[in-house]
Structure 1
């Protein structure tokens, strides 16, 4: 029997009193299973404790999903003024470390919403707090998207 691809999906850290949980949306699991005919694997936000070598040896691809959280401004040289909570510092540390190593090894990546911001920041980009606050993007329209 042919082995199905194993796709890692980075999780967010959320506090549900009194315990922390590692979570991501069901739609990302559904996309991996139905869209890619692959097996999803949770990549917990372990930060410096993440063994990227072992993980990347096992994975056939990675999904960097969307999230209600934003990247901490210090990760891209921003100031506290640029802060737009909530933040997920463990996901930041985990994903930014994992992303660079995955690209070096040519592991396929799919970045969605916050995941695109992570790719941007991992390679030296910055983020804006809100596009609608910028004169450049003053002609934006609001669209509701669930993560």
Structure 2
């Protein structure tokens, strides 16, 4: 990672932005895996809700881990902030792209991403170099 930042001259100083980048990467991987699962099995789109929530939870967990590891302090705070901002960005994109409306799944998604982001933050702050 250091070699890429030297080549392109990019450095991300914000822990939350770094966590959101990692959340987007894990979301892309999860969406690709879900697409393969949907195409290669008898699973229908209506039965994908638990899988989708799992992918969003894992993406928020990874983003919370990355943001708290970068910050080195207040792991649950940075992780939950990352999870909630991730959901806000996701809802904004969903509304603008497909005119998605508010449903009962939105508060559940906020709960899943907030808690999994906080858990990732608690794990990430302890994995950082400042905790040793």
TM-score norm. by structure 2 comes to 0.31
More helix by share: 2
Q: RCO greater where, 1 or 2, for CA within 8 Å and sep 6 or more?
A: 2
More strand by share: 1
TM-score norm. by structure 1 comes to 0.29
